[in-house]
Structure 1
Amino acid sequence: MSVNALYFADTVRRGELSLINDLNIPSYALMEKAGTQLWQNITELYPEIKHLTIVCGKGNNAGDGYVLARLAVNAGKTVVIVNTGEPKSGSDAATAKSNLDALSPPHFSYQATLPHQTDLIIDALIGTGFELRADSPFQQLIAAMNNHRAPTLAVDVPSGLNPDTGYPQAVCVKAKHTITFIVYKQGLFTGKARDYCGDIILADLDLRLQFELLYPSDADLATDKVLGLLKQRDETAHKGSNGRAVIIGGNRSYAGAASLATKAASFCGAGLVSCCVHPDSVAIVASNNIESMCHSLLFNSDSNHRINKLLTKANAIVIGPGLDQDEWAQQSLDLVISSIKPEQTLIIDADALNLIAKRENIRFSHNVIITPHPGEAARLLNCSLDEIDKNRFLACKRIQQKYGCTVILKGPGTVIFDGFKHFVCHAGNPGMASGGMGDVLTGVIAALSAQGYPPELAAQIGVCLHSMAADKAANQQGQIGLLASEIMPYIRELININAN
């Protein structure tokens, strides 16, 4: 599978030092290359720029800023440097500042505060040294950067953002663009980082390939290349050969969730889709899914016989959309757990997760996929929502270790963990923050599982399909008011375009 490797910041720091030694690269030469690639990217992003303001700290992040300042001055631009302190004597950053100071004014100047007029602000303040408390002396400066009318471009990592988790400190730069070096840092792509990084650009300093060969990645960025794993149908395909999916949920007053999951499974190519719902929900679900079979789940001998027959034949079973947490829901969950077979894939979502969180010593097989949002994840781990948000990678891993299955932790930059490696989906948009989106994702994953994709691939492909389809829908229709049902045709389109 083609992916982009993601790394912890400390891995990048240690790997960079090793490559400098192994390849006999002077460390200052690498700083010069970083500043050069910064300037190249800036001229591409802002070709009309005339005035730059570069906010520099004391470390190597500032050194990159000083190199950038020199190149911009040599290109005839006016540069203001807001320096918060002097670099350590003898450091590469000190060398970069000395080379800048050797230029003749008046094209650059130092000052203590941001100018009122500038075309672009460069955040070269802290980078991966993300420790910023509420009493940080940089608090007012960062606030001024965030409130300035000019856009901000972050060097490597927005100052104040944890590069490993994506969680912001008490103060954090909000950038329109982030240009990160050598390889991607995993925290840039998930959770609250989406509010701070803007568009992320990799400047690999011609080291990425060597780095990725020498250092195993900590996570992978699932890109549109994952859709290349979708398979075309055989010419002799029939509905039975394309998998059977059963959706269980749709308690009274919650028919919509089960209906959306059922329709999504059909849109994604499952050959036969059945939905088992509360008797009060049958009419609604059946009328909205005329291509599928809708069954009333009553828990009497006749109903149990029909439902057990359905479950026995299923390739993929879903429990949760619109399930609620009453006695009927408990019985439905018990039925599924007691009947699941090793060769079947079980997808657990929504209130089924909340019911499981109340039970002790439940552990599943690798053929189970669970899809918690952060609130459900907090209940599964019996922790606070803030703990989930502060480290989505760790939360996903802890859930997998506790329950033994593939975990999809939903949210901005959805994180997937299959017990071996994390995957992050960077697609998606705020328009997905509406009711029913998770139910559609569950139906997509059910369809892929029914068609034979193993859980880890069904999870990755399903999440990417869902998010990329939402992006296509939002581009054409807008984000605000985007309905879960509206993205289904785009999911089908992506499947048919990419299947090979």
Structure 2
Amino acid sequence: MISSSQMRALEINSEVFGVSTLQLMENAGRSVVEEIEKIMSVDDAKAVIFVGHGGKGGDGLVVARHLSDMGASVEVVTLGEIKHKDAIANFNAIEDMDYSIKLTKFDYNMKSLTADILVDAMLGTGVKGIIREPFASAISLFNSSKGFKVSIDVPSGIDPDSGDVLGDHVRPDLVVTFHDVKPGLLKHDFKVVVKKIGIPKEATVYVGPGDLLVNVKPREMRSRKGAGGRVLVVGGSATFSGAPALSALASLRTGADLVYVASPERTAEAISSYSPDLIALKLTGRNFNEANLKELENWIEKVNAVVFGPGLGLAEETLKATRPFVEMVMKMGKPLVLDADGLKIMKGSRLARNVVITPHPGEFKIFFGEDPREKERDRIQQVIEKAKECNCVVLLKGYMDVISNGESFKINKTGNPGMTAGGTGDTLTGIVATFLAQGIDPFMSAGLGAMVNGLAGTLAYKELGPHLTASDVISRIPKVLNDPINSFKEKIYKRVIIS
């Protein structure tokens, strides 16, 4: 099954991998005609296509063209202005076909029609809420008309994800849906055929801009402080102060409204001097220790996600306090990104489904007791197995980033040679934490974090070459988030051959 948002992400990803949405629309419409042909002869048949203003309407316009080309008498009934860019291209083509295709604007006074073929191309997977006019009346007219009725993708008036009826709905003899079954179809007794329309496997396997656009929602005008998420970064030690600061700054640049950095007292003072945007919390002691657990409990309660590990160090008192802290965060149900020294200390642990660990190959060996496998396909399978073993999301960093929750996997192939600079892993951690704080699924948060970090690094690399720093990556995160499609097109491809 595939949800409407997942399908939209695949369509966008397909475009950046070279298969345009116009091509997908053409394939979709042609596949509908193929299914109609299996049932009846279309030569000399009369067909009426009810066309909405979105992408589904565009599919219907393709159906109209192909039926006409095959000898059918075709009438297209439009329900308002065509708005989808690819549908407009098909509508413009049909406008010039006035000899073979009749264009009619929907009229409330229309009586029931009689045709051999009636095609529902009115409302698609983007439909929300109760059906309004003129669609409500058009659905009624469609149902009362006589002929073999076909719905494209999902019958108009049915929520594609929940199956809820949004007022009245089309009652088709056949539903031709694309790529995979929509969950809402399973709630009804429709005859459904699934057709592949040319979405490349890469659109599913690789993290792409479509995943970002459908998961990261635009900020509403009436948003209040905290709408972008609150993040707590716990890290730093008597020796290290930069790592937690980089995670926190990356989190802010990704869209978190409030980021707290909790570090040992002297370290917190250093962190607060880096930027006035950071809220530094001073913890008792020179290194993270058991006394800090009580100090942090209320702060954990306040935030939406926690980062633990950057610059933490491996002092004896830190080793004793780490497991109780991680268990406290998990018991409180907060999403957690476990990184760097934090995951080294927690090696071999079984964690929780809302925990993301971000090991590089050396940390992967420490945590799981084995090196990452060399062959790409073997490495993917290994990460799936290990994610299931530790009951968490694993983001294995490397030439090919592999992300898995133990069931599904994603690959990130953005990045460049300059990303070997120290601190770029800390920026990744902060990005992932913000997506978690915004309520995005941990598996998707990890994949999006890897892609955004890689694209931001590539924008820096194109300007600076291999002389970039983690701060250069952070400064370019907003550009990636504001324009993920063009940022993705700018990337330096990792030529990943999965064999």
TM-score, length-normalised on structure 1?
0.54
Provide the residue aligned with 1:351 in structure 2. 341
Q: Deviations over 1:431-469 (max 9, x none)?
A: 101100000000011111112212112112111111111
Matched residue count: 292
Greater mean deviation of Cα atoms: 465-474 or 375-384: 375-384
- Which amino acid is the alignment partner of residue 350 of structure 1? A
Residues 328 and 475 (structure 1 numbering): CA distance in 2 closer, same or farther, change over 3 Å?
same
SS of 2:280's partner is strand
Residues 343 and 497 (structure 1 numbering): CA distance in 2 closer, same or farther, change over 3 Å?
farther
Question: Does 2:399 correspond to 1:409?
Answer: no
How far did residue 473 of structure 1 move?
A: 1.3
8 Å CA contact 1:445, 1:459 repeated in 2: yes
Provide the residue aligned with 1:220 in structure 2. 205
Kindly, what percent of the aligned residue pairs are identical? 29
Q: Distance in 2 between matches of 1:217 and 1:233?
A: 30
Provide the residue aligned with 2:233 in structure 1. 247
Q: Could you list the runs of 5+ residues in structure 1 that have no partner in the other structure?
A: 6-207
Provide the residue aligned with 1:170 in structure 2. none
Provide the residue aligned with 1:481 in structure 2. 467
Provide the residue aligned with 1:324 in structure 2. 313
User: Within 5 Å, which residues of 2 pair with 1:47-446?
Assistant: 209=196, 220-229=205-214, 230-298=216-284, 304-340=293-329, 341=331, 343-357=333-347, 362-384=349-371, 391-446=378-433
How far did residue 395 of structure 1 move?
A: 2.6
Q: Could you list the runs of 5+ residues in structure 2 that have no partner in the other structure?
A: 1-5, 15-194, 486-499
How far did residue 405 of structure 1 move?
A: 0.6
- Which amino acid is the alignment partner of residue 413 of structure 1? M
Q: Distance in 1 between matches of 2:275 and 2:324?
A: 24
- Which amino acid is the alignment partner of residue 476 of structure 1? E
How far did residue 389 of structure 1 move?
A: 7.7
- Which amino acid is the alignment partner of residue 338 of structure 2? I
RMSD between superposed Cα atoms in Å = 2.9
- Which amino acid is the alignment partner of residue 454 of structure 2? S
Q: Distance in 2 between matches of 1:337 and 1:447?
A: 18
Q: Deviations over 1:374-397 (max 9, x none)?
A: 111112221245669883213312
8 Å CA contact 1:354, 1:379 repeated in 2: yes
Higher relative contact order (CA 8 A, sep 6+): 1
Q: Deviations over 1:403-439 (max 9, x none)?
A: 1111101011211112221111111111101100000
SS of 2:456's partner is helix
8 Å CA contact 1:311, 1:339 repeated in 2: no
Of residues 453, 467, 475, the one that matches 1:466 is 453
SS of 1:435's partner is coil
- Which amino acid is the alignment partner of residue 455 of structure 1? P
Greater mean deviation of Cα atoms: 399-408 or 324-333: 324-333
- Which amino acid is the alignment partner of residue 277 of structure 2? E
8 Å CA contact 2:233, 2:306 repeated in 1: yes
Provide the residue aligned with 2:492 in structure 1. none
How far did residue 325 of structure 1 move?
A: 1.5
Residues 332 and 284 (structure 1 numbering): CA distance in 2 closer, same or farther, change over 3 Å?
farther
SS of 1:391's partner is helix
Q: Distance in 1 between matches of 2:420 and 2:202?
A: 30
How far did residue 336 of structure 1 move?
A: 2.4
Q: Deviations over 1:112-157 (max 9, x none)?
A: xxxxxxxxxxxxxxxxxxxxxxxxxxxxxxxxxxxxxxxxxxxxxx
Greater mean deviation of Cα atoms: 229-238 or 409-418: 229-238
Q: Distance in 1 between matches of 2:309 and 2:369?
A: 20
- Which amino acid is the alignment partner of residue 437 of structure 2? A
Residues 345 and 388 (structure 1 numbering): CA distance in 2 closer, same or farther, change over 3 Å?
farther
TM-score, length-normalised on structure 2?
0.54
Q: Distance in 2 between matches of 1:458 and 1:475?
A: 26
How far did residue 306 of structure 1 move?
A: 3.5
